[in-house]
Structure 1
Amino acid sequence: MTKRFTRRQFVTIAGASTTGAVVFAACNIPEEEFVVQSPSSLPEDLVRSADTWYATTLASEGGDSVLVRVNEGRAKKVAGNPDFPINRGKQNVRAEYILQSMYHPDRIATPMARRTRGAPLRPISWDAAEAQLKAWVAESGDRTTIVTNPMRGHAAWVVGNFARNAGGKHMAFDPLDQTNLYAAIKRVFGQDRLPEFDIENAHTILSIGADWLGTWVSPTRFSVKYGEFRQGEGRTRGTLFHAESRMSITAAAADRWLPVRPGTEGELALGIAHEIIEKKLVPQARIAAFEAGVPKAVLDARTLANVARTTGVSADRIHEVAEALAKHGPSLVFGGGSAGAHTNGTNNLSAIYALNILLGSVGVKGGVWFNPPSPFAGVPAASSGAPFIEWERELARWRAGSVGTVIIRDANLVYGLPRSTDPAGALANVEHVVAFATVLDETTELADLILPENTALEDWGTDIPEPGPGYPAVALQQPVVGPAYTRDGTAKLSDARGFADTLLKVSGGAAGGATMRDVVNSAAGGLYGKGSGSVKAPSASLFMQGLLARGGWWDVSARQSTSAPALRAVVKDAAADFSQTEPAVEGETLHLLPFASQSLGDGRHAAEPWAQATPDPLTSAVWTTWAEVSRETAKKLDVRQGDRIMVRSQLGEIEALVYIHPAAAPDTISIPVGQGHTRMGRYAQGRGSNVLAILVDKKDAETGALAWAATRVKVWKAGGARKIPMFEGGAEEARAVEPGFPILTVRDGESAEDAKHRFEAGHKVLH
């Protein structure tokens, strides 16, 4: 029988369940309703119809902790862990998909290998597969490359150890490269980790480019903070300004959306700084600290008129934002996403984050707080993909035959890299390609050896949330279910094993331990030795039980000290450079804005039908690829909603369905990432188009990161139409209900609240 406990009751019961020896500290986290303590041992052959809840982490983008409801040995439901300081009982929609990943009908059933390159795959045993992997790595030595998704925690530590022991390298792949974000944080604040943004205690926030309520970095955590920012107890409602070229979820939630021209986000930040300094809205000491990092000539040129002309944001709006940030603090400024995805992306983000120095927002309530290093020596606490320029160099090594073995895990290079890099052709020149996966994708199918991998519900591990809460925090991952079986119960759905566990076994324990369970137990012992934090116990074994029940460990008392750094030339004069379109191709020239799908992410969730069927929050579209264009652009193209259009860059073309968006800028076209798979199971294959494939290989001038928002395209009507599958009828213009009686109309750059006040001021409202 499922019960509900408050945290206070839970602490009492949990302590009693371990003979009263384990103490759980509340750690100043708001008290919420706690569902049920997670048992520390797995149920075996559970036949009673009773719910059991387990705390674990799914190694998601932000490092959230979740509770998984298990009934009769099957995972049934995922909910946020109310006790964990990162997500406080909330969960991202993408967390739900793990259930379908676990029981997916297209899961790879068994290890498979090819006798020769190009030969058909045939099933082999795990013993044979591990022996083959071990032999190939030994043969290749320093000619070994391991490619994974961006990883944190002890799994990343094991992968790094394995690569170093072999003499090879580990590279992480992120299709929507965030190298520039980490580079800007390092340049402005001198920090290797992303800082804590004290959103809930800020009064005025300016965010630029980062859709932080949608898909950016840690949306679950940010959404919880946003709720406090808007209507937290004992505070006035905060004000949010958001600048972005596309109307995103965050833009829709803002008090003021500033539709800035692509690539000019840094100009906007400097224009705001210029206005604050010129009007002397902050103390001279802060002005001097800011000017130490920005050349005088650069700042002097960013007058209101110049910046308004460059960015497309009016001078009045820029002045309004500058005054609000300076006068109505505490104020917080942060950015990312498309703002950093240009050839001047690092410079843009550096200018944005440097505003916090000018506003005195570093190390204060409602501002920026630094995060401590990893609580485990040598264990990664930050996760960023390698910059695009490094991928170009690595793929050149593959093409030259300089790499003997490539091991790939959760990194779909063939799908996610621009066509100019030809990753499939590069892999063809690698002697041995090994892939760990749950479902075959475009890259996995090219492998010589394919190994079925556990889902996050079947593995041991740790995760270090990114960004952290300003103090040490660790999420614990534990297996919550046994292997999944086919519908008739006669065979395992997948004879999968853990990726890190396989590396540990192949290395003979040299990568960090015999199993990941041993690695996690050892890590827990290290936390136990600290003698502080959210769990206290008289023995290491009881401490481990406490960690499993709580979902992790954190130590509020070890908050990182934070003070404003001295700026040293962090911003320079750098304009964005965009790709060219083909003059011979007829059509409208538009700026392409790819954006991460709220449901599919960067495409990794496309195999799950729940992800395909989750409506986009703004358009409500599902199961397809659409292109958001303005009414003005639609008229030029002579298209209506649902018409087929072709979108062509220098590297190729894709097809999309027109979605006429009233908030789209006339010179842009926005297309979600995630569809267009040629392989990835029955629910993803042959559906929609892959916008990543036509991105031009422009790079940031300083870091070499992919400038994924720097592509210009030609767009034309393709002929034919198809109704876009969506839950709503589309974005229609407001029309008069009765002749002469106007309905509220929101103008470009205007919030709904502004429109309401304007309407009430100009019309007599009947009550």
Structure 2
Amino acid sequence: NKCYGNGEFPAIKWNEADVILSLDGDFLGESDNKVENVRLFAENRDVNEKRFNRLYSVEGNLSLTGSNADCRFKLRPDLQYPFVMSLINELQKNRIITLPINTSDYSLSDFAKKEKLDFKLLGKLVEDLSKNKAKSIIYAGEHLTENVQIAVNLLNNLLGNSTLYQSDSVNVSVLPLSTNDELKQLTNNLAAGNVGVVIHLNSNPVYTIPEDLGYKDAIENAGTVVTLTDIESETSAISNFVLPVNQTLEAWGDAKIRTGFYSLQQPVIAPLYDTREEGAILLTWIEQDNEAYTENLFHQYLKKNWEENIYPNLNSNSGYKKFWYQALHDGVVYSDDKIDIPNTINMSIVSQLNGAPEVSGF
């Protein structure tokens, strides 16, 4: 958002990248578009056609992306920022890029020596990035800090790698994830006893929220804790009420993670046990009427939402009933979404990267 003026994150043309540098980002294993990413990545690894990209991975824990890398460097997540800045310094020294930024506090050779990284291989990385302008991509894991993301955006822009951004497709988040500040605020409100009811929807925050936020202790001050889940967890263990919900193969659903299409999910089997669909439970609560619940409540809601909010915008030539069954058959419905991806990066953001390296220990 700070770099381009909006939060739209374009999809990447992995199949056109000859050099890929992944910074603690598992785009082949954990990304929302991992199936597509794997296919695109593999397209440029064709021995018969003598096309073979080169993948560098810099990560703390071994990932699927790291295990497929041609060169893998082991590095803690908190050291990713000084690593990127050292890389920028090396590229500036070689006059590959020019940034109005002071990188004199960073040295790739010193960094490699201190963190026991192979400087010869790092030199090959610098060479590959230099020789493959507009044909390489640097990818940072979503969990890395804002400064790392900004530095990576600047690097991709200066190396001409923004040509590998898909101009007709961006990632979509229907409901943005909570920020760290929002999680802190929630934990503080819980600790102060200001929250009467907490509902966990198929999530396990006692395990997934960082322990230093104190969520597990704070939630003890909530009046009532309800967990909707299809499996026992650390969160369900401390809940007042645990409501078993349908497993994914027993549930209806839909999704939109990218512009250009919607996808549908239909159950493979009927519920095996005494469970209910998450959406049906929420709809019953909204109606405030226990009698409103039926086994196909969420299914009917889903169909109605598609008929009223999605189908009219698709310019389909068939009637809704035929359209619906065709959508279920295909699993995917294509849409003509209008998107606006800025091509110019805000270079004033460089000022945020000035200063001495800041590294916090683990």
SS class of match (2:182): helix
SS class of match (1:264): helix
How far the C-alpha of 1:478 sits from its partner, in A, is: 2.0
| Aligned counterpart for 2:235 among listed residues 443, 449, 456 | 443
Under a length normalisation based on structure 1, what TM-score does the superposition of the two structures give?
0.42
| Aligned counterpart for 2:261 among listed residues 451, 466, 473 | 473
RMSD over aligned CA atoms reads 3.2
Contact 2:9 2:171 in 1 (8 A): no
Amino acid at match of 2:224: H
Tell me: CA distance 1:304–1:440, structure 2 relative to 1, closer, same or farther (3 Å): closer
How far the C-alpha of 1:261 sits from its partner, in A, is: 5.2
Q: Which runs of 5+ in 2 are unaligned?
A: none
Deviations 1:441-479 (A, max 9, x none): 2221332232221122222221122xx3xx422211223
CA distance in 2, matches of 1:434, 1:247: 35
Is 1:334 aligned to 2:117, yes or no? no
Is 1:495 aligned to 2:274, yes or no? yes
How far the C-alpha of 1:577 sits from its partner, in A, is: 0.9
| Aligned counterpart for 1:381 among listed residues 174, 180, 191 | 174
| Aligned counterpart for 1:563 among listed residues 324, 343, 346 | 343
Is 1:244 aligned to 2:59, yes or no? yes
SS class of match (2:66): helix
Amino acid at match of 2:177: S
SS class of match (1:301): coil
Is 1:576 aligned to 2:359, yes or no? yes
CA distance in 1, matches of 2:305, 2:141: 33
Amino acid at match of 1:355: L
CA distance in 2, matches of 1:433, 1:192: 33
Contact 1:460 1:477 in 2 (8 A): yes
Is 1:280 aligned to 2:280, yes or no? no
Query: Percent same amino acid among aligned pairs?
Result: 21
CA distance in 2, matches of 1:548, 1:220: 20
Amino acid at match of 2:2: R
Tell me: CA distance 1:359–1:556, structure 2 relative to 1, closer, same or farther (3 Å): farther
Q: Which has the larger radius of gyration?
A: 1
CA distance in 2, matches of 1:243, 1:373: 24
SS class of match (2:30): coil
Is 1:455 aligned to 2:247, yes or no? yes
Under a length normalisation based on structure 2, what TM-score does the superposition of the two structures give?
0.83
Q: Which residue of the partner structure matches residue 505 of structure 1?
A: 284
Amino acid at match of 2:318: P
Amino acid at match of 1:569: I
SS class of match (1:521): helix
Alignment of 1:163-174 (within 5 A): none
Deviations 1:744-767 (A, max 9, x none): xxxxxxxxxxxxxxxxxxxxxxxx
Deviations 1:68-96 (A, max 9, x none): xxxxxxxxxxxxxxxxxxxxxxxxxxxxx
CA distance in 1, matches of 2:154, 2:175: 21
Contact 2:57 2:69 in 1 (8 A): yes
Is 1:359 aligned to 2:159, yes or no? yes
SS class of match (1:502): helix
Deviations 1:672-718 (A, max 9, x none): xxxxxxxxxxxxxxxxxxxxxxxxxxxxxxxxxxxxxxx3xxxxxxx
How far the C-alpha of 1:530 sits from its partner, in A, is: 2.6
SS class of match (1:553): strand
Amino acid at match of 2:131: K
Tell me: CA distance 1:545–1:321, structure 2 relative to 1, closer, same or farther (3 Å): same
Contact 1:458 1:482 in 2 (8 A): yes
Q: Which residue of the partner structure matches residue 264 of structure 1?
A: 79
Amino acid at match of 1:473: F
Tell me: CA distance 1:453–1:247, structure 2 relative to 1, closer, same or farther (3 Å): closer
| Aligned counterpart for 2:122 among listed residues 318, 330, 348 | 318
CA distance in 1, matches of 2:166, 2:111: 26
Tell me: CA distance 1:384–1:268, structure 2 relative to 1, closer, same or farther (3 Å): same
SS class of match (2:349): coil
Tell me: CA distance 1:241–1:194, structure 2 relative to 1, closer, same or farther (3 Å): same
Contact 1:458 1:481 in 2 (8 A): yes
Aligned residues: 352
SS class of match (1:443): helix
CA distance in 1, matches of 2:337, 2:212: 50
Contact 1:229 1:237 in 2 (8 A): yes
CA distance in 1, matches of 2:74, 2:235: 37
CA distance in 1, matches of 2:338, 2:184: 41
SS class of match (2:123): helix
How far the C-alpha of 1:436 sits from its partner, in A, is: 1.1
Q: Which residue of the partner structure matches residue 224 of structure 1?
A: 39
Is 1:414 aligned to 2:206, yes or no? yes
Contact 1:268 1:311 in 2 (8 A): no
Q: Which residue of the partner structure matches residue 530 of structure 1?
A: 313
Q: Which runs of 5+ in 1 are unaligned?
A: 1-185, 375-379, 485-493, 579-710, 712-767
Tell me: CA distance 1:428–1:566, structure 2 relative to 1, closer, same or farther (3 Å): closer
| Aligned counterpart for 1:426 among listed residues 215, 218, 225 | 218
